[in-house]
Amino acid sequence: MLEIACNLSRIRASLPESVTLIAVSKTHPAEAIRQAFDAGHRIFGESRPQELCAKYEVLPKQIEWHMIGHLQTNKVKYIAPFVRMIQSVDSARLAETIQREAAKCGRIIDILLEIHVAQEETKSGWELGELKRYVDSAAFASMPNVRVRGIMGIATHTDDRSVIRRDFSELKRCFELLQPYFGARFDTLSMGMSHDYLLAVECGSTMVRVGSSIFGKRDYSRQ
């Protein structure tokens, strides 16, 4: 079996049926995605709009594309016509821009609210208090083209499992706190990457985003 197909089936086998696996293909060429597609995988995550559009153009239209990286408002229009989910919604301005661009395309776009729990200040995402105030203002009630499906978060980059577990538990707590505002459609807790996805699942993740364990190390110099 090809290496990518082999990695996919090993990771899939380690996950409960109910957990969605996002294959994070950023920086990897379209041929690598094609291999995963041929092995039956359909859900891919990218972190740059330009790269995402280029891959969308050349790859099968059955692919479900998720935007997982920081997104500038002026780039939303490029991905709005086809993106399935935007996981990195970290500001009111971004949510409102997605509403506007989705309406222009006559689409409803699923989003996740990205919450900042990691120790690194550099990582993006809402602070819970700030997000709760925004949600309390009922702003999403006037966004018919945006469907809030849950939250996304990234744990602190560390080998200390107890720190990672604390971050994931905090994300789970945020998820449960926000769920009553949105109801049953708020069903997605996206957390866990190559080095910590099993721990994330233990902590209640429903969606893991795995890149290097499927496609190998990323080579940013190739871009």
Ligand X SMILES: *Cc1c(COP(=O)(O)O)cnc(C)c1O
Alpha carbons within 13 A on the beta-carbon side of 211: 17
Residue 117 burial (CB count, 10 A): 22
Taking CB under 6 A as the criterion, the residue among 35, 47, 97, 188 binding ligand X is 47
Residue 194 in the binding site for ligand X (CB under 6 A): yes
Using the contact rule CB under 6 A, the part of the chain among 139-147, 156-164, 166-174, 206-214 near ligand X is: 206-214
204: left (phi > 0), else alpha (psi -120 to 50), else beta?
Answer: left
Taking CB under 6 A as the criterion, the residue among 8, 24, 128, 174 binding ligand X is 24
The pair of structure tokens assigned to 84 is 């399935």
Give least dist CB 106 to ligand X, A: 28
Please tell me the distance from the alpha carbon of residue 132 to that of residue 140, in angstroms, as a whole number.
12
Give least dist CB 175 to ligand X, A: 17
Residue 48 or 132: which CB sits closer to ligand X?
Answer: 48
Give least dist CB 211 to ligand X, A: 3
Residue 124 in the binding site for ligand X (CB under 6 A): no
The per-residue DSSP string of 56-92 comes to HHHS-TT-EEEE-S---GGGHHHHTTT-SEEEEE-SH
Q: For the chain, what is the total number of helices (H) and then of strands (E)?
A: 9, 8
Q: What is the CA radius of gyration of the chain?
A: 17
Contacts to ligand X from residues 67-106, by CB under 6 A: 68-69
Residue 158 in the binding site for ligand X (CB under 6 A): no
Residue 179 or 212: which CB sits closer to ligand X?
Answer: 212
- The footprint of ligand X (CB under 6 A) covers 24, 26, 47, 68-69, 154, 193-194, 209-213
